[in-house]
Amino acid sequence: MLELGSFVRQDHDDLHYMLRVLGDATTADTPVAELLERVRTRFEAHTEAETMTLGAMLEQSRPPPTLYFLVSQVIAAHLAQEAALAQLLRQQLGTTGFRDRARYLRQLVAHHGEHEAACLHPALTDHLPREIYRTLATSYTVERDRRLAFLERAIARSA
């Protein structure tokens, strides 16, 4: 059975990889603009899906305060990453400032992923009823895929 942590970890790993490429991109061969757009859409889909899934879980299960605290940390981390992404998007592609911002965002994503893996996901399995925990992965992937499809349609219309 695939769990929420597996899907979230894959998204974090994908973002980490793309940001590493953007942070190291020094040649014209790297499709920086396309990769940056992919980071933006993947990040938005990930954060929206995770926030909606965890928010619904809190409403549905009435877990202990520990989970409320951990979910608030996830949301706070997403807000910090969103601010860093906004700064990255304002930089001129390929400049030192751009690469520095990409590296910084990559560090935020890595720290966030480590924190979730070490704290949030074990707490979810410890404190949620099994039937609610089982639904989290599906809820997350459905919402993430729905959001990605919406963003991709919006990009196609604006092109």
- Contact between residue 102 and residue 19 where contact means Cβ atoms under 8 Å apart: yes
Percentage of residues in the chain having pLDDT higher than 90: 77
Task: State the DSSP string of the chain.
Answer: ---HHHHHHHHHHHHHHHHHHHHH--STTS-HHHHHHHHHHHHHHHHHHHHHHHHHHHHHH---HHHHHHHHHHHHHHHHHHHHHHHHHTSPTTSHHHHHHHHHHHHHHHHHHHHIIIIIHHHHHHHS-HHHHHHHHHHHHHHHHHHHHHHHHHHHHH-
What average pLDDT does the segment 20-33 reach?
Answer: 79
Does the pLDDT at position 25 exceed 80?
no
Percentage of residues in the chain having pLDDT higher than 70: 94
Rounded to an integer, what distance in angstroms lies between the CA atom of residue 100 and that of residue 92?
A: 12
Instruction: List the domains of the chain with CATH numbers.
Output: 4-158 (1.20.120)
Q: What is the pTM of this model?
A: 0.91
Q: pLDDT tens across 47-56, in order?
A: 999 999 999 9
Placement of tokens 């953007």 in the chain = 22
* pLDDT at residue number 136: 94
Angle in degrees, CA 39, 144, 127, rounded to 5: 115
* pLDDT at residue number 29: 62
